[in-house]
Amino acid sequence: MLEKCLTPIRKEPVLFIAALAAMLSMIAVPPSAAYLGYVDVRVLCLLFCLMAVVAGLQSCNLFDVLAHRLLTNSHHLRTVVVMLILLPFFTSMLVTNDVALITFVPFAILVLQTIGKTDLMIPVIVLQTVAANLGSMDTPVGNPQNLFLYAHYDLTAGSFFRVMVPLTLLSLAALLVATRMIPNEPIQVSFQEDNTIPSRRKLTLYAGLFLLCLLSVFHVLPYEALTLIVVIAFFVVDKSMLGKVNYSLLLTFVCFFIFAGNIGAIDQVRELLTALMDRSAFLASLLASQFISNVPASVLLADFTHDWQGMLAGTNIGGLGTLIASLASLISFQYYAALPDAKPMRYLVVFTVVNIIGLVILVPLASIL
């Protein structure tokens, strides 16, 4: 009986923690009409649309085809590793860090097994994880906290990119330097099956919907219109894609909205958080991300500061560090841990060392910016 109760908690631990936090906060601030103002409907609608559209793009084998074509007939090991790391770095900018890792970590495992380089499994997967977390910070749609902060502070594309592009470029340079540790020995990569696009008409439709999502993120298209268009399009073309949306993430956001709203309504807590954020929104959000992950940290702290630059840099760079600093990092760890010869403790040591090095490199630049 106890095992049955624990199963859903193990499957969705973040949702459980968010729901528990929301319920506990209701003791201090009983439910009222003010709760309606806590939830950012625009962010939820944009997340829903993006997740549905990305699921559609995945169903068209777009990312697999891209990866296969880039890697087939590569002649040097270092070139292959660079590609495996840069694929999640750049794709995460458009399809989020978790989707990039879901797509390319299993692909990296397949490639390394194919060429007989399983000894590189840990460093490659760790660097893929760091690459996805850092690449995703470059765009408003790269990860949930960026989407939330972009909407919360009503930012413009220019102001957003002025802060995030320098950090992204430094991240890219650091990743390329890290790959120099890989020996540049000759190899041959080939795949038995040639992936293809099953339906170019669907791919064209999903690509068009993705462009509409970007227009809505940048305040060109109303989010209400976007949501209606996406729902109708999927009902007509493929309703199953709506079932692949991560509704637990949406519900997690609702719970954190309620928790953050209630915390903000408690005078003593509001004064304490405001004082901390006044000292340094960057450091406060970065440290909070290490313990509660960067998405809930952004929702919790955004109302206590107008320093959107500090919040953006803190929650994005804060995705480095602990395994839970960015929930996307857990995806990679789960894939690796499922391997027959996995060494989880060694993975965690390498992961922690690489992430600390990343923090040492990026924190000084972010502090200057």
* DSSP 3-state of 191: coil
Position 107 in a domain: yes
121: its two tokens:
């499994």
Q: Which of 215, 229, 224, 240 is nearest to 45 (CA)?
A: 224
Position 290 in a domain: yes
Give the Cα separation of 101 and 126 in Å (integer): 11
Contacts of 181 (CB under 8 A, 6+ apart): 123
**Where do the DSSP E strands lie in the chain?**
none
Domain that holds residue 251: 61-196+246-368
The one-letter amino acid code at 326 reads S
pLDDT of residue 324: 82
The one-letter amino acid code at 60 reads C
Sign of the dihedral through C-alpha 164, 203, 213, 325: negative
Q: Yes or no: say if 337 and 344 are a contact pair by the CB < 8 Å rule.
A: yes
Position 206 in a domain: no
- DSSP code of residue 38: T
Position 216 in a domain: no
pLDDT of residue 307: 94
* DSSP 3-state of 51: helix
Query: pLDDT tens-digit profile of 329-359?
Result: 888 887 898 888 889 999 999 999 999 999 9
Position 204 in a domain: no
| Averaged pLDDT for residues 280-300 | 88
Q: Yes or no: say if 348 and 323 are a contact pair by the CB < 8 Å rule.
A: yes
> Which range has the worst mean pLDDT, 16-25, 230-239, 278-287?
16-25
Query: pLDDT tens-digit profile of 35-66?
Result: 888 788 888 898 899 888 888 888 888 877 77
Give the Cα separation of 283 and 289 in Å (integer): 10
Give the Cα separation of 60 and 58 in Å (integer): 5
Q: Is the pLDDT of residue 33 over 80?
A: yes
Q: How many structural domains does the chain have?
A: 1
For the residues of 93-137, what is the DSSP string, one character each? Answer: HHH-HHHHHHHHHHHHHHHHHHTT-GGGHHHHHHHHHHHHHHHGG
Q: Is the pLDDT of residue 96 over 70?
A: yes
Confidence category of residue 167, pLDDT binned at 50, 70, 90: very high
Query: pLDDT tens-digit profile of 181-240?
Result: 888 888 777 666 666 788 888 999 999 998 998 898 888 899 999 999 999 999 999 888
Position 240 in a domain: no
Contacts of 270 (CB under 8 A, 6+ apart): 263, 264, 304
pLDDT of residue 346: 95
Give the Cα separation of 302 and 292 in Å (integer): 15
Give the Cα separation of 339 and 333 in Å (integer): 10
Position 293 in a domain: yes
pLDDT of residue 10: 65
Please name every residue paired with 76 in a beta bridge, in sequence order, or none if there are none: 186
pLDDT of residue 283: 92
Position 273 in a domain: yes
Query: Structure pTM?
Result: 0.80
Give the Cα separation of 28 and 230 in Å (integer): 39
